[in-house]
Amino acid sequence: MKKLTFFAASFLALLMAAGTVSAETVKVGIILPYSGPNAQLGQQVDRGFELYQKLHADGTGGHKIEIIKRDSTGPKPDVAKRLATELITRDKVDIVAGVVYSNNAFAISDVTRKAKVPLLIMNAGTAAITTRSPYTARVSFTMWQAAYPLGKYAYDKMKIRTAAVAYANYSPGKDSKNAFTKAFTAAGGKIVADIPFPFPKIPDFTPFLQSVKDAKPDALYVFIPAGKWATGVMKTYDDLGMRAAGIELIGPGDITQDSELPNMGQVPLGVVTMHHYSAAGDRAENKAFVKAWKDAYGADSTPDFFSVQGYDGMAAIHEVVRKLDGKIDADKAIAVLKGWKFASPRGPIMIDPETRDIVQNQYLRKVEKRGDALANIETATLEMVKDPWKELEKKK
């Protein structure tokens, strides 16, 4: 009996040793703005995927994920392209991920397409990004997913009849403006002012929003990347007395970013947005996520949509590593991601197998007081929204 036990133990040890030998190291290159005026956006994505790694360390089938981080410093496509090239040619990464800004995403996708390396977008929201390369998939959002339904809602439910649109003058801003305008005007509304903000250098929002005030619309629809820019819009809206003038402020969730709300004072109270995530969302997965976040990063720290996109992005990477047994091939990795489903803190999500783009809920939200703090309270849900731009293009 002792002899059998000895041989059984020896055999088990050999199996364990063989498993260790076959374990792979998968290199993931992350490109985010870790410095510059909006480094907080990159930090929120970073913390999201680091938290997933911490909570699900055993989710890779025994394989190791090595994260190699690179700082894009901001919306700088030339820098982003150089970093992607270095990650692929010098660091030999298996997957590239992250990417806050759309102009960076377009530049990076050109590199990853030629090199046949999977690119997983964890933020950048211009609808066309996934069409640039068959090796690109997205776990974040498209601008059309929020702006298009909000255009119809603004007319039908909020009884807004005239609107001004103001937007950062680059691809996601144009997407957001076009989506809102298309739905709003189709419903019967009228756009009375179209105001592009110079981007990324916006010296002062005052002259732009003053021209909106002069046009006297019922509402201002605004898109500006989250962070300090969003706070700048809020402050200017308040300083110019636009609410007192009867102009409602609406937009995608970027303008009331959960983690930035404490810096906005009481101005956002009552602001209506459409978005795919709120830290105040009443879902079991979200409550667990927010608790884990605060345990990891402090009671005063708040996750936001950047955070959950990083979290879900790492969940997708784990799925690829596990399903491919640590041996990453671009075509096989994308095949794994097509149709991938996940019970996210934001609600159920899926990667559309046809477009490689995110399918997810959109929530109508209103900023309200919760205790002493402001929060984006979800008031209605549109379930499993595909990218409207791609759906409309398909009908053409």
Dmax of the chain from CA atoms? 92
Backbone torsions φ then ψ of 261, nearest 5 degrees: -50, -40
Letter for the amino acid at 298? G
Sign, CA torsion 214/215/218/220: negative
Sign, CA torsion 3/9/12/16: negative
pLDDT of residue 59: 86
Letter for the amino acid at 209? L
- With b meaning 16 or more CB within 10 Å and e meaning fewer, what string describes 97-125? bbbbbbbbbbbbbbbbbebebbbbbbbbb
**198 DSSP 8-state letter:** P
Who contacts 208 (Cβ-Cβ below 8 Å, separation ≥6)?
166, 195, 197
pLDDT of residue 335: 98
pLDDT of residue 17: 45
CB neighbours of residue 217 within 10 Å? 24
pLDDT of residue 191: 98
Q: 3-class DSSP state for residue 254? A: helix
Who contacts 200 (Cβ-Cβ below 8 Å, separation ≥6)?
74, 75, 168, 170
Torsion of CA 365, 368, 371, 377, to 10 degrees: -10
pTM attached to this predicted model: 0.92
pLDDT of residue 381: 97
Letter for the amino acid at 363? Y
Q: 3-class DSSP state for residue 185? A: helix
CB neighbours of residue 377 within 10 Å? 17
* Distance from C-alpha of 336 to C-alpha of 339, rounded to nearest angstrom: 8
Q: Which residue has the tokens 């929060």?
A: 375
Can you give the pLDDT of all 396 residues of the chain as single tens digits?
444 454 555 554 444 444 444 789 999 999 999 999 889 999 999 999 999 999 998 889 999 999 999 999 999 999 999 999 999 999 999 999 999 999 999 999 999 999 999 999 999 999 999 999 999 999 999 999 999 999 999 999 999 999 999 999 999 999 999 999 999 999 999 999 999 999 888 879 999 999 999 999 999 999 999 888 999 999 999 999 999 999 999 999 999 999 999 999 999 999 999 999 999 999 999 999 999 999 999 999 999 999 999 999 999 999 999 999 999 999 999 999 999 999 999 999 999 999 999 999 999 999 999 988 999 999 999 999 999 999 999 887
**Token pair belonging to 344:** 């996210």
One DSSP character per residue, 214-233 reads HH--SEEEEE--STHHHHHH
Contact call for residues 313 and 122 (beta carbons, < 8 A): yes
Backbone torsions φ then ψ of 279, nearest 5 degrees: -65, -20
CB neighbours of residue 20 within 10 Å? 9
One DSSP character per residue, 149-167 reads HHHHHHHHTS---EEEEEE
